[in-house]
Amino acid sequence: MATSKAFVTNESELKVNGEAGADHAWSMEGTETATAQCSIQIDLGARPAAYLISWNCEMAWQGTPTVGNTCDFYAAGAPDATAANIDGDIGASDADLGTWVGAANTHYFGSVTVDTADTTDQISSGSFVWYGRYISLIGFNNGGTTLNATDSVFEFYMTVRAIQGQAT
C-alpha cells in the first residue's frame, strides 16, 4: 500500500530592505519611534502559488531602546486582479507612513522585541500564511528610539514556501 507525506518546500528567498541590490525596497533605516515605513508592493506571482511565508529580521536601534518594546510588522494586500485598493490605503511604494494609524486594516504577523537596551542587533523570526498575489510590508517602530540609520543594519528575509505531497 502506497503512503504519502506532505513536505514544505522553499520556492524563493527574498531580501527586503534599503540596500542596493535587495530584491525589494523597504527603507526602515532611520525610522523614528512611533512612526511606520512601508515597503514597495511585492508581486508574488499569479495564483495558484506557494502561500506560506517564513521571515527573519535582524535590526538595531540607533540610541537606547526600551527593553520589552517592539518593532511590529504588518502585511497589506491588494486584489489579485489589480495592484490597487491596498489594505490600509498605504500606496504601492517604499514610503514613510509617519504616525500611521492603518493597523486595523492590515494584518499583524510579528515583531522584533528589544531584549537589550543598547545598539546591538535584535533578531526575530516567524511565519504566516498569505494567499494573495500582492503584499506590502509595514514596520511600526515602537522601540523608544530611532532605528539605526544604516540601510544594511536592517535585514528582512522572506522565504516563500509551498506544501508538496510526495509518495513514500
Extended beta strands in 3-133, E state: 4-17, 24-25, 35-38, 42-43, 52-59, 70-78, 95-98, 107-113, 122-129
User: In the prediction, which pLDDT does 1 show?
Assistant: 60
What pLDDT, in 10s, does the model give residues 44-95? 999 888 999 999 999 999 989 999 999 999 999 999 988 999 999 999 999 9
Q: How sure is the predictor about 139, in pLDDT bands with cuts at 50, 70 and 90? A: very high
Please tell me whether the overall predicted TM-score, pTM, comes out greater than 0.85 for this model: yes
What pLDDT, in 10s, does the model give residues 92-115? 999 999 998 878 899 999 999 999
First vs last C-alpha separation in the chain: 10
Under CATH, to which class is 4-167 assigned?
Answer: mainly beta
Instruction: Check if the beta carbon of residue 30 is closer than 8 Å to that of residue 150.
Output: no
The rounded mean pLDDT for the chain is 94
Q: What is the DSSP string of 51-70?
A: -EEEEEEEE-BSS-PPTT-E
Residue type, 26: W
Instruction: Check if the beta carbon of residue 12 is closer than 8 Å to that of residue 160.
Output: yes
